[in-house]
């Protein structure tokens, strides 16, 4: 009897240990999967060495010029695409450069604003949004269309914009704070608070 009880307790203990181990190593139900290496995605470049392809916006008083690894960013954004019958969103942590230096990370996911049938036909019109990791109060609205990448970021350091250096250039980008210009046409301006003035 005692031997049987000992065996039963031993088996129960083994089962508990295995269950606990499985529970610990089970992937967390966390929407953020991995961090993209922003050192590979973004590279600072001298604006004097960038060839102006098309119409260029009036340069802000302070800005940062960067070269974007477009293939890498498109691939990462594709990981967040939500199919019509999928219920759970997919996230990627992406670092975006700031005009005054450094990188700030955001958890990005697709945020469709168009009908599914149109998105399937015109995938380049997909739009994305996200929340800050380094700055939890920050939000982002971005797209990557045929005209290039466009990003609008609301942060505690100010509203930041990233857009092509000139029309037709999908490789080089201007990064600047909205308060440093009053002439530039802002991407996603229609999404901003109408009371948010320069």
Q: Give mean pLDDT, residues 37-52.
A: 89
Other Cβ atoms less than 10 A from the Cβ of 57: the count is 17
Angle, alpha carbons 172-176-182 (nearest 5°): 120
DSSP string, 120-178: HH-GGG-EEEEEESSSTT-EEEEEEETTEEEEEEEETTEEEEEEESSTT-SSEEEEEEG
Order of all β-strands in the sheet with 127-132: 32-35, 91-97, 103-110, 127-132, 139-145, 148-155, 158-164, 172-177, 64-68, 42-44
Question: 1-5, 136-140, 192-196: which has the highest mean pLDDT?
Answer: 136-140
User: What mean pLDDT is reported for the chain?
Assistant: 77
Using the predicted structure, report yes or no on whether residue 198 has a pLDDT greater than 70.
no
| Residue closest to 136 by CA, chosen among 154, 162, 109, 110 | 154
Terminal Cα-to-Cα distance of the chain (whole angstroms): 83
pLDDT at 61 over 50: yes
For residue 11, is it within any domain?
no
Residue corresponding to tokens 């005054």: 100
How many structural domains comprise the chain? Answer: 1
Residue 112 located in a structural domain = yes
Would you say residue 14 lies in a domain?
Answer: no
As a residue count, the chain comes to 198
- At residue 78, φ and ψ (nearest 5 deg) are -65, -25
Is 6 part of any domain? no
Residues 106-118: tens digit of each pLDDT: 999 998 887 777 7
Q: Within a domain: residue 85?
A: yes
The answer as to whether 148 is a domain residue is yes
Q: Indicate whether 109 belongs to any domain.
A: yes
What pLDDT is recorded for position 83? 73
Where does residue 166 rank: exposed (0-12), middle (13-18), buried (19+ CB within 10 A)? middle
Range of the domain at 136: 31-191
Tell me if 182 is assigned to some domain: yes
Quote the pLDDT of residue 60. 93
Tell me if 155 sits within 8 A of 135, measured CB to CB.
Answer: yes
So what's the pLDDT on residue 79?
92
Looking up tokens 């001298």 gives: 46
pTM value is 0.72
Q: What would the mean pLDDT of 93-102 be, rounded to a whole number?
A: 93
pLDDT at 17 over 60: no
Give pLDDT tens digits for 123-175. 788 899 999 999 999 999 999 999 999 999 999 999 999 999 999 999 999 99
Secondary structure of residue 5 in the 3-state scheme: helix
Phi, psi of 21 (to 5 degrees): -65, -45
């Amino acid at each position: 009897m005692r031997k049987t009880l000992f065996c039963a307790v031993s088996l129960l203990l083994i089962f508990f240990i295995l269950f606990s181990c499985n529970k610990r190593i089970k992937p967390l139900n966390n929407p953020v999967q991995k961090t993209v290496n922003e050192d590979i995605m973004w590279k600072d470049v001298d604006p004097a060495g960038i060839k102006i392809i098309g119409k260029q916006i009036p340069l802000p008083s302070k800005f940062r010029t960067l070269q974007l690894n477009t293939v890498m960013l498109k691939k990462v954004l594709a990981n967040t695409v939500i199919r019509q019958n999928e219920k759970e969103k997919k996230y990627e942590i992406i670092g975006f450069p700031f005009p005054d230096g450094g990188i700030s990370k955001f958890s990005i996911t697709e945020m469709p604003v168009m009908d599914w049938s149109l998105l399937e036909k015109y995938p380049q019109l997909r739009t994305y949004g996200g929340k800050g990791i380094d700055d939890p109060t920050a939000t982002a609205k971005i797209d990557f269309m045929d005209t290039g990448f466009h990003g609008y970021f609301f942060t505690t350091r100010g509203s930041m914009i990233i857009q092509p250096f000139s029309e037709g250039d999908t490789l080089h980008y201007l990064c600047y704070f909205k308060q440093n210009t009053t002439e530039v046409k802002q991407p996603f301006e229609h999404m901003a608070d109408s009371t948010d003035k320069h």
